[in-house]
Each structure stands twice: as C-alpha cells, then as structure tokens.
Structure 1
Amino acid sequence: MLAYIIGVVLFALCVGVSLALHEAGHLLTAKAFGMKVRRYFVGFGPRLWSFRRGETEYGLKAIPVGGFCEIAGMTALDEVDPQDEPRAMWRQKTWKRTVVMATGPFTHFLLGFIVLYTMAVTFGLPNLAEKPVVSQVSACVHDATSNEQLANPACGPGESGPAQAAGLRPGDEVLSVGGVTTPTWSAMVDEIQRADGPTPFVVRRGDETLRLTVDVPRVDRPVTTSDGEAAVAQVGVAGVTATRSFDYSAWSALGGTATFAGDMFAQTFEKLVEFPQRIPAVVEAIFGGERDPETPVSVVGASRIGGEAVEAGLWQVFLLLLAGLNFFMGVFNLLPLLPLDGGHIAVTWYEHVRNWLRDRRGKTAAAPVDYTRLSGITMVLVMIGGAVLLLTVTADIVNPIRITQ
C-alpha cells in the first residue's frame, strides 16, 4: 500500500512539474524577447510564498498543480502602464509572439522525449508497434499439449529448430512469410501457423535484406477456441520468440527515442481525434458499466495507474504513461481554440495575414482582434472542457482503469 501511495504522489508531482515547466517556457522566451513578465506562480489558489526579483514576482500557491505566467499586454485589452506599452506582448512581432506561446506546449514534447530517452538507456523501449523482430531462436520444436510443455521444451543433443536451421538470428525482422507481408508479429504468426513445409521468409538484418527458406513443421499446440475453451490443434511453428523491448546504448538511444517519440506523437493525435466519441463510454462507466481501458483519464486516473505501476514494480509503465501524458498535453495545448496556447497563436496569425492582405490593397493595419467578441465562444469551450474534466475525474474515482488485480 505504501508503494502505491508513493507512486500516486510521485506521478502527481511529476505532472505538476511538467505544468510548471510549461509556464516556465513562456516566462523564459518572453523575457528573452524583452517582454515584461509580471508574475510567475506554480500552483493555484491562496498564495503560500512569493518573492520579487527585478520586475517579476515568483511564488507558490496552495494547490501545486499547474501554474501561470502573467505577461504584460498579452492582448490589447490588458491594462499596461504607459512606460511598458512598447514591451506589451501584443505589440511584438508575430514570430516572437508565436514562439512565446508555442514554447509552453513544446516544453511537454521535450519532457516526453527526455522521459523516453531515460527509458531507452535503462529499461529499453517497449515494442508497442509489435514489430516482427526476433528475440530468440529455439533449438528445437516439439509437440506440446500444455503451456508448461511449451515453456520447457526437451531439446536433444544436436537438434535444431526450423528457424535456426534456416539461418534466422536474434534481431532479424521478418518482412514477409510465404510471399505475404507481415507488418506485425501477430500477422507473422498467423502466416507461419498456416504454413506447411519449406516456406520462403524475407528478413531484414541490419542494412541487408535476406531471403531464407524455413521448413515449417506442423505440431500440436494448446489453443483457445472461439468459445473460450482450451483445446489442442496442429499449427505451423518456426521456433522464434518475439522481442518485447529494444535495448539501446546512450548514443543509439537518441535515434531510437526519436523514432519511438514520433510513433507516440502520431498515436496521441489519433486518440485526440477519437476523444469525443469515447465520452459516452466514460458516462456509462460512471453508472456501473465496464470501464474501457481506451477511454480518457484525468490526472487523478493517471496518478492512480502510476501508483499501481510502482506497486507492481512496473517502472516502464510509469515512465511510458508520464511520457504519453506530456505528449497529450503538448498536442492538446496547440489546438487552435481559446483559451489554449494554440488559440492565441491562431489569433496572432489571423491578425498577421489580415494586415498583410490589407497592406497589399494599400490599406493601413486593422486594430488588434477584440477578444471580448470571442468571449462567448471561449466560455462555451471552457464549460465543455470543465464538464469533460468532471466526467473523467468522476469515472477515475468510482470506476478507475486498473493495471493490476
């Protein structure tokens, strides 16, 4: 129980640090461009402690989640002292305003990369894409009518498994079996199980592409029928084991992490697109339905999962969840909706393009966008976001997603 509590607190603390660094990104770039930053606080609620350095007040508030960075003149509606007018954010060049607003979300991408790199050089990166990469090649293949027999094959002296005899090695990636492309391990297994006798394999080994012939035998294997019953069936077997994670050196981890981060970024975007259609499942879970593990979670739910991961010693899961949450926060904050950073960037570039077109027609630049005219839309989005947050927090309390039983 203590490990669980430590995991929950640690995960929540990591999220708080991520959000604080998000605001620090705004702070540092705004100061670098000469804008005036009035306040930088970590947390929300009543002030616990603060100090002033130069023109900026730094402090800590009672609820240590998130924070804020108050930049003078973020919009033309903000009151700014006359002497600070030239430094108002809305008066700065478009690219400077864009950098200041984008630095917050990109801080999450950087943090996600750092977490994944840490995983790569310690635990390795999991094979989430289920790439058909061979981890081990069996020394023999025999009939097995139970999982125990399958896990402990009795190989005799001089025996050689089909894949081993054909020349497959650990680290090989199987591109096709019997002329059928195998993008995943499951697809490869399906093709092997259908095979019988000499079967062509196309394999990638480093920079080489090899064509090997594996003499696939038909052997007894324990299977589960469509009714969920245990049975024994004859299937084709090559004698190879899947790679569950990839190990890296400190140098090779850079490339491996970049590739993995790109895949995770794409998956994050896909899940964000699917987000609205998963909300009904969250509501159903609140009222007693089975909680779909693919439904959205709040920071509360993510912290609970993090606690379970620590309790079970699954630090890979803890770090992967933390990296995924950072990627989600980065992508989400770049959405072109107010009051998100992406919404402010969208307004900035709307003004820039509008004034560029006016200049081409010989007209003067128009006034800055009146944010009061966008307040209605902003309020609706804030209310929708608050409702979704309330739903996910409620579901994470009454019917949480679990990784351990």
Structure 2
Amino acid sequence: MLAWILGVILFALGICISVALHEAGHMGAAKAFGMRVRRYFIGFGPTIFSFRRGETEYGLKAIPAGGFCDIAGMTALDEVTPEEAPRAMWRYPTWKRFVVMVAGSVTHFILGFLILYLMAITMGLPNLIDPNTVRPEVGTVNDCVVDKGNSSAEGCEPGAAAPAKDAGLRQGDLVLSVDGTPTPTWRDMVDKVEDLSGPAEFEVRRGGETLTLTVDVAQVSTANGDKAGAIGVSVALPPAVNTYGALDGFGGAAAFTGDMFVGVWNGLLAFPEKIPKVVEAIGGGERDPETPVSVVGASIIGGDAVEQGIWEMFLLLLATLNFFIGVFNLLPLLPLDGGHIAVLFYERIRDWIRGLRGKPAAGPVDYSKLSAVTMVFVLIGGAVVLLTVTADIVNPIRIR
C-alpha cells in the first residue's frame, strides 16, 4: 500500500512539474522577445509564498493543479499600464507571438522525448510493431497443426498433419510468395494460406538462395466452427524491448515519439465516442481500459505501476500524458493556446487580404465577440473533466 501511495504522489508530482514547465516555456519565450511578464505562479488559489525578481513576481499557490504565466497585453482587451503598453504582447509581430504561444506545448514535447530517451538508454523501449505487419519470417516450425478453436490442445496426436515440417520449412525462412501471390507481411501470408487446401508452392529465401517448396496445406477448424488452411508455423517476432546506446538512443526515442504522436492523435479523434462508456462505468458497468482518464485516474494507474514494479509503464504513461497535453493545447479552440494561435493566423491572413485590396491592416481581434464560443467549450470541457474524475473515483482503471 505504501508503494502505491508513493507511486500516486510521484505521478501527480510529475504532472505538476510538467504543467509548471509548460508555463515556464511561455515565460521564457516572452522574456526572450522582451515582452513584459508580470507573474509566474505554480498552482491556483491562495498564495503560499511569492517573491519578486526584476519586473516579474514568482510564487507558489495552495492548489497544485496547474499554474499560469501572466504576460502583459496578451490580447488587446487586457488592461496595461502606460509603462507596460510599449511591451504589450499584442503589439509584437505575429511570428513572435506564435513562438510564445506554442512554447508551452513544445516544452511538453521536449519533456516527453527526454523521458523516452532516458528509457531508451537504460531500460529500453517496448517494441510496438504489430506482429501482423512484420515480414513473414518463420520463427518456429511446429510438429503438427491443431484446430484454431482448440487452445487447450497439448502435443500432437498420432498421424497429425505437419505440412510445414514435412515440406522442409525451417526457422529463419522468409516466405516471399504463396501460390504465386506475393506475401510482404505475415498477415498477407496467413490470409493466403487460410484460403488454401492441399499442395501449394511456397517461394522462400533461405540465406542467400531462393527455394520453392511444396507444402500440403491442411484444413483446421476455426474458433467459430469454419474451416481454414494452416501449415504449422509461427512468426519470428522482433525483441519485446529495444535497447540503445547514448547516441542511437536519440534515433530510437525520436521514432518512438512519432509512434506515440500517432497514438495520441488517434485517441483524440476517438475521444467523443468513448464518453458514453465513461458514463456507463459511473453507473456500475465494466470500465473499458481504452476510455479517457483524468489526472486522478492517471495517478492511480501510476501508483499501480510503481506498486508492481512496472516502472516502464509509469514512465511511458507520464510521457504519453505530456504528448497528450501538448497536442490538446494546440487544438484551435479558446481558451487553449491553439485558439490564440488560430486568432493570430486569422489576423495575419485577414490583413494580407486587406493589403491586396489596398486597405490598411485592421486592429486586433475583439476577443469579447468570441466569449460565447469560449464559454461553450469551457462548459463542455468542464463536464468531461467532471465525468472522467467521477469515473476514476468510483470505477477506476487498475493494473491487476
């Protein structure tokens, strides 16, 4: 239990540090361009302590759930003093404001990459390759084939068919084609074999030579009672974990980062359709492990991972959360950073079109006209957070 509590605290602390660095990214970029940064605080609510360094007040607040960076004149509606006015953020060129707004998400991406890099050179990174997409290299040649619907079958009955073994297929053989049909992946080979019965020509590469073997494809029963072809081989899978040195760890972490970005994006696209399952979980239904989780739920999973000694899962979850927050913040919706970036590009494109028409640039966008849309998004976002937090309290996802 103590290990679980420690894991929950560590994960929650990791999230707090990530959010603090997000705001630090905004602050660092703003200061680099000469913008006036009034305050940088970690947390919300009552102030525990603060101090002033130069023109910026730094501090810690009582509720460790985020933070903020107060940049003078972030929009034209913000009130600024005469002293702040020349350095108000909205007065700066579009590209500088863009860099400041995107810096928070970039910080999350860098942090997630660093976590993956440290994993790559220490404990290694899990291999996320789908076994069906690997090349059709034979890993094991079985003594016989068994019905696919009989997972409890042990050993081979006398006289059981052994198509691959009898045909001379060996471990390490690469199947190039089956009955003239190219098989670039293991799934391609399996699909072709399942449609066959009786002798079939297998073109394989063994070492430096190409051989043609005749395999007498057997028919076995599938899980649903149908018949399908089988030859009695298994795929040669890549290692479960890829380990790297200090230099090639950068490439390994970069490739893994790309895979995680794809996963995060697909998760965002599927997010709306998973909300009903969250509601069902609150009502007592079985919690789908693929449903969204809140910070509370992620911390619980992190605690489970530490309790069971699965530090790889703990770190991967923390990296994934950083990538998710970074991508989510770039969605073109106010009050997210992406919403402010969308306004920047709208102003730029609008003024470019006005210039082509011989008109002067218009003023900054009036954010008050966007308040209704912003409020709708805030209400929807708040409702989703409430749902996920509730589900994570009454029916959390656990590592068993």
Instruction: Report if TM-score (shorter chain) is over 0.5.
Output: yes
Could you tell me how far apart the structure 2 residues matched to 1:64 and 1:53 are? 22
Q: Which residue of 1 aligns with 2:383?
A: 387
Q: Which residue of 2 aligns with 1:49?
A: 49
1:49-94 residue CA offsets vs partner (Å, 9 max, x unmatched): 1111000011111122211000000011111111221100000000
User: Aligned ranges for residues 28-47 of structure 1 at < 5 Å?
Assistant: 28-47=28-47
- How many matched pairs? 380
Q: TM-score, normalised on structure 2?
A: 0.83
**Aligned partners of 1:12 and 1:299 also within 8 Å:** yes
Could you tell me how far apart the structure 2 residues matched to 1:165 and 1:117 are? 34
Please state if 1:237 is matched with 2:235: no
1:60 to 1:165, Cα distance in 2 relative to 1, 3 A: closer
Could you tell me how far apart the structure 2 residues matched to 1:215 and 1:248 are? 41
C-alpha displacement at 1:238, in angstroms? 3.0
Which stretch of the first structure deviates more once superposed, 260-269 or 34-43? 260-269
C-alpha displacement at 1:215, in angstroms? 7.4
Q: TM-score, normalised on structure 1?
A: 0.82
**Aligned partners of 1:192 and 1:238 also within 8 Å:** no
1:166 to 1:37, Cα distance in 2 relative to 1, 3 A: closer
Q: Which residue of 2 aligns with 1:171?
A: none
Could you tell me how far apart the structure 2 residues matched to 1:313 and 1:301 are? 18
Could you tell me how far apart the structure 2 residues matched to 1:342 and 1:113 are? 21
SS in 1 for 2:70: strand
C-alpha displacement at 1:46, in angstroms? 1.3
Q: Which residue of 2 aligns with 1:362?
A: 358
SS in 2 for 1:387: helix
Q: Which residue of 2 aligns with 1:154?
A: none
Q: Which residue of 1 aligns with 2:14?
A: 14
Could you tell me how far apart the structure 2 residues matched to 1:287 and 1:93 are? 51
Q: Where do 5+ consecutive residues of structure 2 fail to align? A: 147-151, 157-164
**Aligned partners of 1:25 and 1:107 also within 8 Å:** yes
Q: Where do 5+ consecutive residues of structure 1 fail to align? A: 151-158, 169-173, 228-232
1:177 to 1:393, Cα distance in 2 relative to 1, 3 A: farther
Q: Which residue of 2 aligns with 1:230?
A: none
Give the residue type in structure 2 aligned to 1:15.
I
Which stretch of the first structure deviates more once superposed, 138-147 or 47-56? 138-147
**Aligned partners of 1:293 and 1:401 also within 8 Å:** yes
1:22-43 residue CA offsets vs partner (Å, 9 max, x unmatched): 1000000000000010000111
Which stretch of the first structure deviates more once superposed, 239-248 or 321-330? 239-248
Please state if 1:142 is matched with 2:140: no
SS in 1 for 2:286: coil
Could you tell me how far apart the structure 2 residues matched to 1:166 and 1:224 are? 27
**Aligned partners of 1:175 and 1:201 also within 8 Å:** yes
1:334 to 1:402, Cα distance in 2 relative to 1, 3 A: same
C-alpha displacement at 1:124, in angstroms? 2.2
Which stretch of the first structure deviates more once superposed, 319-328 or 97-106? 319-328
**Aligned partners of 2:141 and 2:171 also within 8 Å:** no
C-alpha displacement at 1:125, in angstroms? 2.1
Q: Which residue of 2 aligns with 1:290?
A: 286
Could you tell me how far apart the structure 2 residues matched to 1:161 and 1:10 are? 56
User: Aligned ranges for residues 3-402 of structure 1 at < 5 Å?
Assistant: 3-131=3-131, 141-143=142-144, 164=170, 167=173, 179-181=181-183, 183=185, 199-201=202-204, 225-226=223-224, 235-238=230-233, 240-243=235-238, 244-402=240-398
SS in 2 for 1:120: helix
Give the residue type in structure 2 aligned to 1:107.
T
- Alignment RMSD (CA, Å): 3.3
SS in 1 for 2:43: strand
